Structure 1
Amino acid sequence: MNRPISYDECNCFALRQAARHVTQIYERHLGRVGLTAAQFTILAKLARTPNLPILDLADAMVMERTTLLRAMKPLQRDGLVVAESAEHDGRTFLFSLTEQGEAMFDQAAIAWRAAQDEFEQKFGRARAKILRTELFSITD
């Protein structure tokens, strides 16, 4: 006989619930500059590492390639991200920020910092650092 599942024992439920809560904080701040948290993380990755092939970007974001391409469409449409063919292979596209994308990222980074500060003020800066370390260890 199976015993009923208790949500307070479910790692997946706890992580998803916490992720939704934290995402709401970041979405509130980033929404003021017209970005979602997911869009900000894409811009942040491209700001640090321009000319990324989609597969490398998808791996870094831990996203399926098709899901990432859907997320990239509004960023490309709004002129924040550009895809250019790689010199060595015309079928490979390299993604980078445009000048407008760099300006948006700089503006969004201020909103991100406010969200980061709000979360760390509520959760504790030291605890947040430990939490990040533990969470990143899951995907390493």
Structure 2
Amino acid sequence: MNNPSKLEQQLCFEVYKASSNFSKLYARTLEPFHLTFSQYLVLLTLWEQNNLLVKDIGNQLGLGIGTLNPIINRMIANGWLNKEQSDKDKRAFVISLTEKALEQEKPIERAIISKITSCNYLDINAKTLMTNLKELNAFLNQLKE
């Protein structure tokens, strides 16, 4: 009888592998749009609420400014985002969607939904999995404090 290794018994390892596999799935789906998974997350944030400060995007995504700035700069260079100095704080920048980003929201959404639906696994287990992961993340965030 094979006993699972210590690594295979770790919840954190399974969450890590799932995250990595999701990133790969999304990367393949987003490739025709010339977007990375991280760039897609920035777009999702701005499609929900446009014209956000860089720090607010970072807070929503759990990314530091040092990680987020290169992502945003590449997206600006590729025509997805605009960056303007804030009227309220000259040290801060407001990020907004370009016309290209607004026009591509629905096609990107359709591509993602099509890929996820084709997996079928999520139709059955998505709500339970999402609830459990949100509870786990809330618990882990409390441990930081």
String of CA shifts for 1:61-100, please: whole Å, max 9, x gaps.
0111210111112111011111111111121111110111
Question: Which residue of structure 1 lines up, in the alignment, with residue 79 of structure 2?
Answer: 79
- Please tell me whether the aligned partners of residues 46 and 52 of structure 1 are also in contact (alpha carbons under 8 angstroms): yes
Question: Which residue of structure 1 lines up, in the alignment, with residue 126 of structure 2?
Answer: 128
Question: Which residue of structure 2 lines up, in the alignment, with residue 23 of structure 1?
Answer: 23
One-letter amino acid matched to 1:133: T
Structure 1 unaligned residues grouped into runs of 5+? none
One-letter amino acid matched to 1:83: K
Number of equivalenced pairs: 134
Q: Secondary structure of 2:32's match? A: helix
Percent identity among equivalent residues?
A: 23
One-letter amino acid matched to 2:25: I
Aligned equivalents of 1:63, 1:138: Cα separation in 2? 19
- Please tell me whether the aligned partners of residues 80 and 104 of structure 1 are also in contact (alpha carbons under 8 angstroms): no
Structure 2 unaligned residues grouped into runs of 5+? 139-145
- Please tell me whether the aligned partners of residues 26 and 116 of structure 1 are also in contact (alpha carbons under 8 angstroms): no
**How far did 1:26 drift?**
1.6
What is the Cα-based RMSD across aligned positions, in Å? 1.7
Distance 1:34 1:46, change over 3 A: same
Distance 1:25 1:108, change over 3 A: same
TM alignment of 1:81-120, pairs within 5 A: 81-119=81-119
Normalised to the residue count of structure 2, the TM-score between the two structures is 0.83
One-letter amino acid matched to 1:132: M
User: Greater relative contact order: 1 or 2 (C-alpha under 8 angstroms, separation 6 or more)?
Assistant: 1
Aligned equivalents of 2:23, 2:115: Cα separation in 1? 9
**How far did 1:124 drift?**
3.8
**How far did 1:126 drift?**
3.6
Aligned equivalents of 1:131, 1:25: Cα separation in 2? 18
String of CA shifts for 1:109-129, please: whole Å, max 9, x gaps.
12111222134x0x2414112
Question: Which residue of structure 1 lines up, in the alignment, with residue 143 of structure 2?
Answer: none
Distance 1:106 1:124, change over 3 A: closer
1:57 and 2:68 aligned? no
